[in-house]
Amino acid sequence: MRRFWTLFLCFVCTASASAQAADFSTARQIIRDGMARESAPAVVVAIARGDSILWIEAFGYANRETRVPATIHTPFYLASLSKTITATAAMVLREQGRLDLDRPANDYLGNARLTSPAWSANGATLRRLATHTSGLTTFDVGCSTGCEPPSHDEIIRQYGVLMWPPAEHFDYSNLGYLVLGDAIARAARSDLGSLLRDDVFRPLGMVDASLGIDRQRENETAVQYSWTRGALPRESRIVSGGSSVYASAYDVVRFGMMHAKAHVAGAKAILSDAAIDTMQNSTVPADGNQQYGLGWWIETDRYGYRSVLAQGGTDASSTWLRIIPSERVVAVVLANKGVGFSSEVVDAMIAALLPRYADGLAAQKARSLAARSTPAPNPATPRLDSAYVGTWHGVVRAEQGDLPLEIVVSDSGSLCARVGAEASERMGRATFATGLFRLRVPGDLQSADTTGGRQLAFYLRPRGGVVNGTVTTNPNIASHLVGRFSYWVELRKIIGP
């Protein structure tokens, strides 16, 4: 405890003295206004340049009910920012010669292995898991009160199915990082929590970090507050390398400083500069104009600078780590609610240090304001291409076996579907965009895992006379599971328009 308070006081003093060189009052005001507007319990921020933390400050309560204040050492749920930490551990093992990122993930897994009804699973390498190009898709599951989540092996056996050819395209997958975490832990002959602790957290001086909640510090850990469900129970989701790290703003800024190639007092070099470059520069095309590296979102031009971003969030958490590598600037925002102002705080902190960034940010705000003042025309409803209009037959590979489907699509995009042996038809919608034939059908798959689901969402790609891909739905509400399940589906058109 003495070491904890020595570190705390040391960095508060350092931050207070250094912060005089920059004016962070705009960021502070955004935080106060946003917390009041969105009823956010706690926000903690940090910004560093080079080897110096310029400002680190906590606002609000880690636990609103017991009035536990947030501090710079309060552990927060990092959500998908965990992926960047897991990718870092993979790169550490690669530099140590303990794994090969370009080997199939199945070479490192146990009895539960990735499979595919159409593609070779050997293409699902560790690198492709890290860049969301392995062929895996959506899977996310947690527990409401009173349920036991499935094991990692059960998840991989049931849902570790390649829905796309490996390397074909980017598909952001929590399941992919669960598999990656299991694979690297097996390569290290360890469990993932110990691997992260010994090879990432301790060497970097991340004194508050853990995989899952540190039970010795449970009362200090920030409670997550959902917009709809209030305070959430502890550990309601599966613990994995994709979303389960807890860490403080102090930890996250130190982690970011390492990736900005700053040499921080008390931190060991866990990656070479070349390895850091590999993580940030070995990219694949991702959403919008972004690229994705090994655990990092990459923007090639953000207000005049190249930016790398690790970000996570749910309706009960918001975590941001943005780095401007050329300037070695690192900005962190952690909140224990899914707030909408985190990115604005990050931008305001960076703008306080970089005038060119500030100018670009101001120009973007002016353009957004002008766009909002100009009413957008009502777009015409597009007609579907005739290639997608007609009657389709196919199957879903559900847990109890193949489930037959019949879907009839009109050129207006309306559809009617029969699922399984049901006699009644369901009405839905069909669209085609960005290479995907998308179908929305109400209800579930009438299977043990999905009874009570609200909607079936199909994402299908055309391939030589068939369309195949994934259908996503909700788990069975009677099981007390929450999240999204995905299953392989293939359809063939039997009657044209």
Domain range list for the chain? 2-74+247-263+274-370, 99-187, 386-495
Architecture of the domain whose range is 2-74+247-263+274-370: 3-Layer(aba) Sandwich (3.40)
- Asked: is 386-495 a CATH 3.10.129.10 domain? The reply is no
Arithmetic mean of pLDDT, 445-453: 64
**CA neighbours closer than 13 Å in the CB half-sphere of residue 323:** 24
Task: Show the tokens assigned to 192.
Answer: 């993932």
3-state secondary structure of 55: strand
Instruction: Give the confidence band of 140 by pLDDT, cuts at 50, 70, 90.
Output: confident
Which carries the bigger pLDDT value, residue 184 or residue 263?
184
What is the rounded distance in angstroms from the CA atom of residue 225 to the CA atom of residue 283? Answer: 34
Which has the higher per-residue pLDDT, 141 or 210?
210
Per-residue pLDDT at 485: 83
Tens of pLDDT, residues 459-487: 999 998 899 999 998 765 555 556 778 99
Whether residue 251 has pLDDT greater than 80? yes
**H helix intervals, 225-341:** 249-259, 273-281
Helix (H) or strand (E) holding 161: none
> CB neighbours (10 Å) of residue 7?
17
Confirm if 395 and 489 have CB atoms less than 8 A apart: yes
Q: Which two tokens stand for residue 48?
A: 């560093």
**Segment 271-318, tens digit of pLDDT:** 999 999 999 999 999 987 789 999 999 999 999 999 999 999 999 999
How large a percentage of the chain has pLDDT more than 70? 90
- The mean per-residue pLDDT over the stretch 47-68 comes to 97
Are the CB atoms for 8 and 16 separated by under 8 Å? no
Could you tell me the pLDDT band of residue 393, with boundaries at 50, 70 and 90? very high
| CB environment 238-256: b (16+ within 10 A), e (fewer) | bbbbbbbbbbbbbbbbbbb
- Measured between alpha carbons, how far is 237 from 214 in angstroms, rounded to an integer? 15
pLDDT confidence bin for 150, thresholds 50/70/90: confident
- Tally of CB atoms within 10 A around 456: 25
The SS3 assignment for 391 reads strand
Mean pLDDT of 118-147: 87
Rounded to whole angstroms, how far apart are CA atoms 447 and 452? 9
The per-residue pLDDT for range 206-235, each reduced to its tens digit, is: 999 999 999 999 999 999 999 988 998 876
Nearest Cα residue to 221 out of 312, 84, 148, 317: 317
State how far the Cα of 459 lies from the Cα of 438, in Å rounded to an integer. Answer: 5
- Tell me: pLDDT of 5 over 60: no
Question: Taking each helix axis from N to C terminus, what angle separates 152-159 and 174-187, rounded to the nearest 10 degrees?
Answer: 130
Identify each DSSP E strand in 144-285 by its residue range: 210-211, 225-226, 230-231, 245-247, 284-285
Q: Which residues contact 299 (CB under 8 A, 6 or more apart)?
A: 289, 290, 291, 306, 307, 308, 309
Q: Indicate the pTM of the whole model.
A: 0.92
Determine the pLDDT at residue 235: 60
